[in-house]
Structure 1
C-alpha cells in the first residue's frame, strides 16, 4: 500500500508540473501579444491519509501528534497578473493604451441594459477602427461601447434627433458615427447635404434617431477622416463633406474589485463573472464623472452608486499595451518545473523497482 501511495504521489507531481509548464509555454508563446496578461501557478498539497490520530496529554503521559501520509500535489491556483504593462508606440491616433486599472467594454450592436452589463466583454487592447457601417470596433469586429454625442437640448429629455450635437448622453451604447443629411426632404431644418445628424434622447433617457434610422430611410453615416482618441476617451474625427469637426462620443471603461478574478474567455477578452465582483462604469480621466447612467437625474429613484459614472484611468493615444510576459522569469520557472518533473519521475521509477523486488521475493 505504501508503495502504491508513493507511485500515486509521484504521478500527481508529474501532472501538476506538466500543467505548470503548460502555463509557462502559453506565457512564452504570447510574448508579443498586445495586452496579454501572464498566468502564474501555485501548487497545493493533495489529500492526506491519517494512520493515527493525535491525542492530548494526560496527568501521566504526554500528547502525541497525528501520523498522516500525503498523496502528492496538484495545481492550487493559476492567477493572472492584471497590473499595467509597458506600452508600444504605434503612431495611430485610434490606438489607445490604459495608463492604470480598467478595461474597455466591447460587445455586439444590440445594446445592453443596466441589469445586464456583465454580458459585455472586457479588454485591455485598444486597437480601434471604424467599420463599413460606421461603428467603432476593435480588431476582431466587436463594437466598442461608450457615451454618444446627442441632441440634448440643455439636457432635457425627449428631444428629437438633429444637427446640434450639443451634449453627451450617458446611455451606454455601441459607438457609431452620426448619420449624414441626404437632401431628400426629411433632413432636419437648416441642414445641408452631408451635415451630421445626431440622435436625440427619448423620455426614458435612451438615444433615439427616430425616423432617420428606420429601415429603408436611406440614411447612412457620415464619411470622415482624421479619426483620433484623446486621453479622456473622446473620439473625434472630421466630416469629409463639410470639414466640420465631429465628436462621436466618449469611450466607456469598466473596473471590478478583483481583476484577477475575471474569467478569460478567448483572445484578449474577459468576462466579469463570479469572483470578479460588481462592475463599475467610468470614463477616462473622469470626463463624465459624477453623472448617472441613462441620463438619470440625481433625484431619480434609480440613481445610486451602481449607476454613477466614475473617474477612470487616463488613456495614452497612439500606443498599445505590450504583453506582460517576462522571458527571464518564464525561463527560470521553466527550469524549476523541469527539475520538479524530473524528480517526480525518479519517485515513479524507484517505486517501480521496489515493487519489482517485492514480486521477485517468491522466486
Structure 2
C-alpha cells in the first residue's frame, strides 16, 4: 500500500515538471526564435517479488513469468523541438535577420567577449563602435572579414564591424576614359567663327572633379575641324592654370619658341597635355572618319595627357591626374538645321573609366548569402564582411543558457571556430525579418489538459491509499 503512495508522489512530481515546461513554452509564445520543449516520462524501477521460471517438458509444468511491481515514474528527458522553424515576422529593419534552412539547424555565432555562443534570434543593431550586436544582450555577431582586394577570408570568425573609419568612405577613382557624341551641324555658325565649345567632366585620383573645355573649329576643308584644348577648370569654375589679375593666362616662351602656361608656378607646354588635333568626317555619310594630331596617327581616340601636370617633387603642390582616352567615333557631321548637339561625357559607352568622387557611406545591406555590403553616394558598392553560421552534428544536444542563446555540449559536437556559409546546405538569410517562436498553442493546451488529468489521477491514488490505510487502522476498533 505504501508503494502506491510513493508511486503517486513520483507521478505528481513528474506531471508538475511537465506543467512547468508547458508553462515556459506558453510564456515564450512570442519570443524570437524560441524552441518549444516537451517532457518524456520513463519508469523508475520495479520490485521483483518472484523471479521467472522455465517450463519443464518432462513433468508437463509450464514456465512462470516474473512478478514485478512498479515503483513510480520519472522525467526521462526534456526534448527541444530544435528543427521546428517558427513563422516569419516582417519588421523592415535591415539588421533583423532570419535564417532560412530546411531543418533549422544553422545558428548565428555571437560572442560575449569571452565565449562563443549560438542563437537563431537575428535581432541585431549597430553599436557605437560600428559592430553588429544582439539587441537583447549586446553580444557581437561573428563572421569573416575581407582582404584589401575585397575577397572574403574564411578563417577563424571574429566580430563584424560594419561601420568604421575605413568603411565610412569609399576610395575615389580617377577618370581614364571619355567619349564625344552627337551632331556637329555642318552649318554651325559658332564652329565656323570662334569654335564650338564642348566640355568633358572628369575626376582626379583624390575624387576632385574638373572640366576640360575643348574648341571645335571649322577649317577651309569641308568635313574637317580643328580640335584644341581651351582650358581646364575646377569645381568652382576657376582655371587650374595660373592667371593674372585680369583673368588672363600667365604665359612664357618655351625653349622652342612655343607658348608655355604656368601651372602652380611651373611652366607647362599645353601641347603636351592635348596636342592640337584634326577631326575628319565622311561628307557623303556624315559619319566620323578619324581624329589625329602631329604625333598621334589617325584613330578614333586621342589622349588627354593630364599626367604631365603631376609632379613627384615634395616641395611643389602637385596633382593627382590620370590620362584620359577620349573617343570621338560617335560624333557626326551633317545638316541638322543649324542645331549642334555634340557634347562630351566621362567614361566609355559601357560606363567604364568614368571615375568617381570620394564616396560617403549611405546604407548597409545584407544579401541572402550573408554578405554585408556598404553603399556609397559615389555609386560604389563594397563588400564589408560576411556572416558565418554554425552547424552541429546534433543540434538538439545544444544547451539553452537564456537570452535566446545556446552553448555547445559534448553531445552536440564542438564548433570548429570557422563556421560555414549559410548557402552551403541550400539555406539563406532574409533581411528585414525575424524568426518567431515555434510554440503551437493548440498542442500546448492539449498537453496541459492531459497533464492536469494525470496530476488529478495521481492525487486520487494518494487519497484512495490514505482511505485504505484509514480502514486498516480502524480494524482495531
Does TM-score exceed 0.5, indicating one fold?
A: yes
TM-score (norm 2): 0.55
CA contact (8 A) 1:38 1:324 kept: yes
**Aligned partners of 1:328, 1:138: CA distance in 2, in Å?**
31
CA contact (8 A) 2:392 2:415 kept: yes
Give 1:236 shift.
2.1
Q: Provide, for residues 23-69 of structure 1, a one-character-per-residue CA deviation record: whole Å limited to 9, x for no partner.
A: 11111111111100000111111111110111111232211100111
**Aligned partners of 1:46, 1:223: CA distance in 2, in Å?**
68
CA contact (8 A) 1:102 1:312 kept: no
The residue that corresponds to 2:235 in the other structure is: none
Q: Note closer, same or farther for the CA distance 1:178–1:312 as it changes in structure 2 (3 Å cut).
A: farther
CA contact (8 A) 1:257 1:276 kept: yes
Match for 2:366 among 229, 236, 241? 229
**Aligned partners of 1:166, 1:106: CA distance in 2, in Å?**
23
CA contact (8 A) 2:142 2:387 kept: yes
Match for 1:282 among 420, 430, 436? 420
Following TM superposition, the consecutive aligned residue runs of length 4 or more in structure 1 with deviations greater than 6 angstroms are 190-193
The residue that corresponds to 2:48 in the other structure is: 50
- 1:132 matched to 2:165? The reply is no
Match for 1:168 among 121, 146, 152? 152
The residue that corresponds to 1:331 in the other structure is: 445
User: Secondary structure of 2:387's partner?
Assistant: strand
Q: Provide, for residues 233-285 of structure 1, a one-character-per-residue CA deviation record: whole Å limited to 9, x for no partner.
A: 01123358x77534221101011111111111112111111211243621122
More helix by share: 1
Q: Provide, for residues 92-132 of structure 1, a one-character-per-residue CA deviation record: whole Å limited to 9, x for no partner.
A: 1211111113000000346xxxxxxxx41110011111110
The residue that corresponds to 1:306 in the other structure is: none
The residue that corresponds to 2:14 in the other structure is: 16
**Aligned partners of 1:123, 1:312: CA distance in 2, in Å?**
19
After the TM superposition, which of the residue ranges 334-343 and 264-273 deviates more from structure 2?
264-273
Match for 1:143 among 115, 121, 140? 140
CA contact (8 A) 2:44 2:74 kept: yes
The residue that corresponds to 1:258 in the other structure is: 394
More strand by share: 2
**Aligned partners of 2:372, 2:475: CA distance in 1, in Å?**
81
**Aligned partners of 2:428, 2:407: CA distance in 1, in Å?**
22
After superposition, where does 1:64-103 map in structure 2 within 5 Å? 64-83=64-83, 84-100=85-101, 101-103=105-107
Matched length: 280
After superposition, where does 1:208-357 map in structure 2 within 5 Å? 224-238=361-375, 244-279=380-415, 281-286=419-424, 311=425, 313-357=427-471
CA RMSD of aligned residues (A): 2.4
CA contact (8 A) 1:181 1:192 kept: no
Give 1:138 shift.
1.1
CA contact (8 A) 2:363 2:376 kept: no
